[in-house]
Structure 1
Amino acid sequence: MTELQHADIPEPLPDGALPLMGENSGLGLSATDDVRPPITIRKVSFQRFKQFKDTTITLRPGVSLIAGGNNSGKTSLLHGLAVWEFCRTATRMERGEEGLLPEATDRQGFGLGDEQFSPINVPSLKHLWTNLKSAKEPDAADGGYTLHLTCEWEQDGKARELGFGLALVNDRLFIKTASSNLASGDPAPRIAYLPPFAGIMAREERINGAIRRRRIGEGLAGAVLRNLLLDMQQANLAKRAALRERPAHESGKRRTKISDADLKRLREEDPWELLLQALRGVFNAELQVKDFREEYHSYIEVLVDKGTVDGYKFKRHPGYNLRDLMVEGSGFLQWLSVYTLATSPDADVLLFDEPDAHLHPTLQQEMLGRLEDLASSVGKQVLLATHSSEILRNAEPSKILQIKPGGSTRYLSEPHQKIGLLEGLGSDYAPRIDQVRKAKHILFVEGTSDIPILKHLAQAAGLTWPTDWVAWHTTASHKERKNLWRALIEDIPGIVAVSLRDRDDEALNTVGDHLQDANCPDLEGFHARKWRRRYIEAYLLWPPTLAACSGKTEDEVTDYLRDHHAIAIGSSFVDRDAPQTLIDVRAKNILTGLGLNAIDVAKNLPAEAICEDVLALLKLLNDLA
């Protein structure tokens, strides 16, 4: 990059000089007594960061489920916030608190080597920039700081803002405070990022905050899990010791144990206590962190105990041998890493990238419920990127933040909007939705054989099958299909849908003229239809065709229909108001009994055997196309 003037380039930090960021990185999990209220980010803005060329995203308090198709920007949102946190911490350590104040925007930035960049894992720093273009644009007044990350929040009823500019010069990253309205002493949100769980090792050494952040940024959260657990357990032991040292009463005598009131408060507020209680409740398990002395021990040992739970009491299973944390299943370890970070007092905003990836649907819901409880009780903000249909299906729409390719975002407001997400709306690669986008016609059917049967019947009737219709196989009800159509037309206006269902055991009077479903009135663009007969196979029972396809004589087929299914088929077979026995006949059993396939029968049905109901549906499809 040549556009950045030499005068704008400060002397970079020496290699490896970025210091420990424990107090406000959220990744050191230091045992602080910081009791300030957690801060909620209201808005985050990106310029030239990954998919977000110029994007502002409004965020809500509590838990937000970040959803969207592959490559839509879910992870980029989390990455952007993680890089913002890195910039804030690095600036604070290099320039002090004054480096975050408004007057710092007129000063030079500072430089880091790529080996010091630890919040996320990228092949090279150039991958932070949209389309890998980090160079200054002609006539731009940014001084070469071409990538910008800005967070906004509210503190004491006043809007706060802190933004950073980033520049790339010869593989060195330069960071500069680009915008700020902070006053001295104003706190900023503390952000912690947890990528998908991986990297647990048999032997984990004691490591400092900078190395922890690097490993987490590289996607190796498991490689620091024992460190985080050791920190939490040691902080808990220190609190317990302090509570025992408190005078029992005015006489000044020391206690021999923690008072009931102090113990109750400790169990309700301390991260280690919360974690253990959650493990007891979900897995009937406890953790035992072995004593660790840095001058003696090389590795951190954490064992898992299994047993029965009664309130706060835990009783080990008879004969159970404690085992190392590493041998537990991936679901247990993923859940543990998420909850360990969630209970940390050092983070206001938690970023989880697909934490449900290794979890059974029941555990997914359990994890989300506990995160919501934490968020509401202590005021944490949680951004959780997910593809889980289980989580999205059961979530309130207002908690789902949808991200679409290009950076457009919205919180959902209606249940039907979730269906579009579950079906892949917004994905870069969704073949069926791509077809709908082009054709704008959807034919919902229940069985995979329905469309081939209809095509053969159209050919027999001398009608052209309209190629505009995209087949969508689903056993969902008309109502659910209508919700999906409503979700689709928000993104693809003008879609016409026909929803075709079997009548099965529903009352005959639920089918109106032209097969209209009386329980689901038509809307402009959505047409609900139901077969008058039990299902489509009942329109194929033409004896001459059954005989030709089965190799039997027509008399043999007629006798079979009469003796085994109590029906006689005559000239009224094609009529809209056919005999009740034909309306209700279980035609699939007849075809199976004759050893026939419905599609093969449809291929051989003559024009005179095409029923009026079938012709009504084919006419509707042609008219709408």
Structure 2
Amino acid sequence: MIKHVKLENFKNAVDFDTDLDKINVIVGANNSGKSSVLQGIHFNILAEAVRRNSGRETVSQHSLLYLPSSDFTVLRHGTPYTNYSGNTSKLTLTSDTFSDGENADSFSITISKGRNFENISIKCRPNNPFRQLVTSYTDLYSVYVPGLSGIPLEEKLQTKAVIRSATANGDANLYLRNILYYIKENGDLPKLNELINKIFPSTSIMLPYNPEQDLNIKVTINENGTSLPIELSGTGFLQIVQIMAYVLLFKPKLLLLDEPDEHLHPNNQLLLVDALKLLADKLNTQIIICTHSRHMLTALDDEAKFIWLKNGRVNQSNDSPYMYSVLMDIGALDTFDKVINGTYSCVFLTEDEKVKMAKRLLTYNSFNMNNTLIVPYKGCSNTETAIQLSDFIHRSAPNCKVIIHRDRDFMTDEEVSRVNEKISGHNTIPFVTDGSDIEAYFIDPSHLAYVIGVSRDEIIDWLNTLASNNHVEIQEKFHNKRKEIEYSFLYRDDRTACPSVIDLFGRTVPTASQNRLGKFMLRKANGDVFNKFGRSIDLLQNSPHLKIEQLQTILRQLQA
């Protein structure tokens, strides 16, 4: 097994330097170099296998078993390969075995341009048993599976050489039936069906194919006594069967999977994880996966080593896989990479899924939106998740300030104080809205009087009429929000301590303005403003009354 890998200057991988376990998961933003790592490992191993088989120091790029570009010279990071030592790429692998009883076997493969056109110069040092195992030309050490792989409707029987070449080049999905046929010829079909049964009970593969009579290879799937052609199987089943079949036929020691979860339903992603664990355990296969799936991250939490890649380098972070899955869940993995790189000096974590209102309010309060990132953390029930994100930012980008926005949602002053205390205790700035939510600032009578051009008393009468006409719905929303508060961390130890909803809401109609949900009232006001005032008016435009004292205080903190 590979204990340590170091890949330098291959495509977007600048310096991938890390220990490996049996199962390894690479996560990172788009263009961080994840796929480059898998391709670089596979390319270097197979390039040396070809060179070693040829007995020469240079080989033609057309002789390579795997080439992720029509021109190999562009595969080097930054600038193309040259035929001198300056522009090279390098893969160094270290084994977990000690052939001399003291030092682990290790070797390096260095790639540069050959003197002749389209020739590749490959140097591999030193020679040891581990190098001979990894760079074998007959027994491929690694298999690379790029993304979700469909299969053709028909296949004719091909030679083993064709199948081996396709597998080395990442195109084995085009020959899945051939692979299954050779598995059967080797007497391993029962073993494959045993593996499949552990993931898909009562399911097996059958090959009613006679090469003497049939033009195309026939493969059927039998599930609970019902048979259907393999091409009619679901994508989850096909993806897992392909991976199992590759490993069983070619017996690679290293399986490289590039986003195998792509387009798979979450349930099938979890089945895929079970299949990978099975291969690692039963067939002793080492696995490196690139993924954007939070479901796979969560399922592999205790089973895998997690490697965070940013800008082509390993980010030495001790954060748990849970944090990666949270970032994926809120769609912020790419943006948080920019935070770590120093693009933003302030992060505003908001519970609102849509950031339009928060952005307007911050802009009206003179926040610099060029260095302020607004990130939704999806709901007040996730305040603790927001705090974890804040802790993560502080560790990864110590100079970045973090604000956590929490809607007041009809909390009492004492409850707001406890929320502020909890957030502040993590070196984070709390922003709990004065009204029920951010929208409440835009439904404030002074603000509306200014943008509409009428008296404040006229606005108050209008809003009271809207509240009276929608009293039942307003009361229901108040009740639901208070129930969320009752079941939050505020009353986790004693829910009976939560104040009565009826006592807080009161019995008057219309209810007090602080009991009305801002989002709801703003929607009603927008729908009635033309009827009331005879013209369409943008209620979200700026006014002096949107200079919020609490935000001005936060702004001074940021500028201090």
TM-score scaled by structure 2? 0.75
Paired residue type of 1:470? L
> What residue is the counterpart of 2:42 in the other structure?
82
- Give the superposition deviation at 1:90: 3.1
> What residue is the counterpart of 2:361 in the other structure?
454
> What residue is the counterpart of 1:161 in the other structure?
106
Contact 2:295 2:325 in 1 (8 A): no
Paired residue type of 2:254? V
User: Aligned ranges for residues 132-531 of structure 1 at < 5 Å?
Assistant: 133-137=80-84, 140=85, 146-155=88-97, 159-167=104-112, 168=114, 169-182=116-129, 190-198=141-149, 200-236=151-187, 270=191, 272-278=192-198, 280-281=200-201, 285-293=203-211, 297-305=214-222, 307-308=223-224, 315-316=225-226, 322-344=227-249, 346-396=251-301, 399-410=305-316, 412-414=318-320, 415-416=322-323, 419-420=326-327, 427=334, 430=335, 433=338, 437-447=342-352, 448-451=355-358, 454=361, 458=365, 464-467=366-369, 468-476=371-379, 477-504=382-409, 506-512=411-417, 517-524=420-427, 526-531=428-433
Distance in 2 between residues matched to 1:453 and 1:185, nearest whole Å: 63
- Give the superposition deviation at 1:417: 5.2
Check 1:369–1:329 CA distance in 2 against 1; reply closer, same or farther (3 A cut). Answer: closer
Paired residue type of 2:157? R
Distance in 2 between residues matched to 1:329 and 1:44, nearest whole Å: 36
- Give the superposition deviation at 1:343: 4.2
Q: C-alpha deviations, 1:295-327, integer Å up to 9, x for none?
A: 66543221233x33xxxxxx22xxxxx443233
Contact 2:179 2:245 in 1 (8 A): yes
> What residue is the counterpart of 1:123 in the other structure?
70
Check 1:214–1:128 CA distance in 2 against 1; reply closer, same or farther (3 A cut). Answer: farther
- Give the superposition deviation at 1:86: 1.6
SS in structure 2 opposite 1:236? Answer: coil
Distance in 2 between residues matched to 1:411 and 1:210, nearest whole Å: 43
Matched, 1:536 2:438: yes
Contact 1:84 1:150 in 2 (8 A): no
SS in structure 2 opposite 1:130? Answer: coil
- Give the superposition deviation at 1:492: 3.4
Contact 1:534 1:584 in 2 (8 A): yes
SS in structure 2 opposite 1:401? Answer: strand
Paired residue type of 2:32? S
Paired residue type of 1:228? I
SS in structure 2 opposite 1:205? Answer: coil
Check 1:543–1:412 CA distance in 2 against 1; reply closer, same or farther (3 A cut). Answer: closer
Paired residue type of 2:126? S
SS in structure 2 opposite 1:511? Answer: helix
SS in structure 2 opposite 1:192? Answer: strand
Check 1:410–1:420 CA distance in 2 against 1; reply closer, same or farther (3 A cut). Answer: farther
* Larger CA deviation: 360-369 vs 201-210: 201-210
The structure with the largest alpha-carbon Rg is 1
Distance in 1 between residues matched to 2:461 and 2:331, nearest whole Å: 50
Check 1:58–1:299 CA distance in 2 against 1; reply closer, same or farther (3 A cut). Answer: same
Paired residue type of 1:136? N
Check 1:47–1:273 CA distance in 2 against 1; reply closer, same or farther (3 A cut). Answer: same
Matched, 1:59 2:19: yes
Paired residue type of 1:64? N
SS in structure 1 opposite 2:342? Answer: helix
- RMSD (Å), alpha carbons: 4.1
SS in structure 2 opposite 1:493? Answer: coil
Q: Which one scores higher on RCO, CA 8 angstroms, separation ≥ 6?
A: 1
Paired residue type of 2:515? D
Distance in 2 between residues matched to 1:73 and 1:606, nearest whole Å: 48
Contact 1:404 1:426 in 2 (8 A): no
- Give the superposition deviation at 1:472: 2.6
Task: Using the aligned pairs only, state the percent identity.
Answer: 20
Distance in 2 between residues matched to 1:359 and 1:207, nearest whole Å: 29
Contact 2:107 2:131 in 1 (8 A): no
| Gap regions ≥5 residues in structure 1 | 1-39, 96-108, 239-266, 309-314, 317-321, 459-463, 568-577
Contact 1:417 1:484 in 2 (8 A): no
Distance in 2 between residues matched to 1:491 and 1:356, nearest whole Å: 28
User: Aligned ranges for residues 83-98 of structure 1 at < 5 Å?
Assistant: 83-90=43-50, 93-94=53-54
Distance in 1 between residues matched to 2:54 and 2:5, nearest whole Å: 24
Number of residue equivalences: 497
Distance in 1 between residues matched to 2:544 and 2:10, nearest whole Å: 63
- Give the superposition deviation at 1:507: 4.8
Check 1:405–1:432 CA distance in 2 against 1; reply closer, same or farther (3 A cut). Answer: closer
SS in structure 1 opposite 2:431? Answer: strand
Paired residue type of 1:212? I
Contact 1:441 1:470 in 2 (8 A): yes
Contact 1:399 1:412 in 2 (8 A): no
Contact 2:410 2:514 in 1 (8 A): no
Q: C-alpha deviations, 1:420-474, integer Å up to 9, x for none?
A: 56667785xx59947993340122223334325535874xxxxx45545333333
- Give the superposition deviation at 1:501: 0.9
- Give the superposition deviation at 1:540: 5.1
Check 1:616–1:175 CA distance in 2 against 1; reply closer, same or farther (3 A cut). Answer: closer
Distance in 2 between residues matched to 1:431 and 1:187, nearest whole Å: 37
SS in structure 1 opposite 2:272? Answer: helix
| Gap regions ≥5 residues in structure 2 | 475-503, 507-511, 530-535
User: Aligned ranges for residues 540-579 of structure 1 at < 5 Å?
Assistant: 542-543=444-445, 549=452, 553=458, 556-557=461-462, 560=465, 563=468
Distance in 1 between residues matched to 2:122 and 2:305, nearest whole Å: 33
Q: C-alpha deviations, 1:331-351, integer Å up to 9, x for none?
A: 432232123224457222111
Matched, 1:42 2:3: yes
Contact 1:443 1:497 in 2 (8 A): yes
Distance in 2 between residues matched to 1:556 and 1:422, nearest whole Å: 43
